[in-house]
Amino acid sequence: MNNLTSLSGKKILVAVTGSIAAVKSPILVSRLIKAGVKVKCVITQSASKLVSPLSLSTLSRNKCYQDKDQWDESQTKPLHIALAEWAELIIVAPMSATSLCKFTSGNADGLLASILLASKSQIVIAAAMNTSMWENQSVKRNWNYVKNIDQVISLEPSEGFLACDRFGDGKMIGLDIIELASESAFIFNAENKFLTKDLKNIRFLVTAGPTVEDLDAARQLTNRSSGRMGVLIAQAAKLRGAEVDLVHGPLSVKEDLLEGINTYPVRSSSEMSSKIDDLQPYAQVIVMAAAVSDFKKNSPSEQKVSKESFLQSICDDLEMTPDLITNQTRKKLENQIFLGFAAETGSDNEIIEKGENKRVLKGCELLMANPIDRDGQGFDQNFNSGFLLGPKKMVKNLSFSTKLSISHQLLDEIRNLKSKIY
């Protein structure tokens, strides 16, 4: 499960509509409750045939509301207004074609439809339906409409094996992405803003994770990077409307966290360099978050080298790998912005000084210098901090926070810099 401490204490209304993906909704509710979220549920009549309202009530520790409850005589305020005002965030997962149509047309027929129209909070919508339904022109029209509503974070379905025995688009996106979208909504809500598509029409190229260099048939050189920071930057950019290509080494994150973005798995630094060369001409923003191995063996042995001769063997032709960031900034196009990363140790002033020297040397517009010698942050952690360095001696302190929050702060600076330069 993602680290959802930032959602603890938040009030979220989970709405379930009539798609077979509704069977996943109780798992989402359970995960939110375990993260300390205050959850209430509402279910449509068709969804109640797929998921028991009792199960949602039990998991949420609150009554699960249905259409029949909308005009209960015991209510002192219309229920749809009360729930809309209570919820700081609404998650519709899954969103069926019928409920989507009601929402986009302003149809208030039913409890959920009325809540969505009355709500002033951000709404996360995760569509799910049969492939043919998803590809229908009417559904596409409704989806394209809802994508342009600032209040809505729209999560398109992914490709997968569906309940109709068909493989195609229509599978509800993974719960990890729904949770990321929810956490992102609250990151922006802290400033009384909606998470909007401010990066629309911008293509990002992001690198993430470690690279691996073979020494012999049994041994290899690598590092402790999990790839989480780069993956979260990629997903945060995707949520904000960007088209994202992710080139990554072997990752230590859930596969579900890669949904919705174009992924290109590689292993070695040379493979990563080659794939970046292929994709760089199409990107306006390049984020080099991968932790590339510093050394490689020019001619790794196809056999396992004996322990006794191993040290001499690796020293024979061990060499430094090329600096990928420097190599790529030399090929920079006029409209491109580079964000580099530098993992450092030492005092704040030392980290800033070393980071600025690297930013200039590597030719990056922006560089995040982050300490890796402090508890609870850095490699393979959910949290990070550091200093974002930029033109004209810019130094921005990125205080200790979740890596997702750091990702959005970095994207804010990229957006601001891009608007100033171009």
Question: Catalytic positions, please?
Answer: 164
Closest C-alpha among 154, 83, 72 to residue 112: 83
CA distance 254 to 204: 21
User: Is the Cβ–Cβ distance between 230 and 287 less than 8 Å?
Assistant: yes
* CA atoms 257, 261, 266, 268: torsion sign: negative
Write the DSSP string, 110-161.
SHHHHHHHH--SEEEEEE---HHHHHSHHHHHHHHHHHT-TTEEEE--EEEE
Asked if 6 and 89 touch (Cβ cutoff 8 Å), the reply is no
Q: CA-to-CA distance for 196 and 387, rounded, in angstroms?
A: 25
Contact 37, 64 (CB under 8 A): no
How many CB atoms are closer than 10 A to CB 342?
22
**Number of C-alpha atoms within 13 angstroms, CB side, residue 87?**
30
- Rounded Cα–Cα distance for residues 326 and 273 (Å): 11
- Alpha helices, DSSP H, located in 240-306: 269-279
Work out the angle at residue 405's Cα, subtended by the Cα atoms of residues 403 and 408, and round it to the nearest 5 degrees: 110
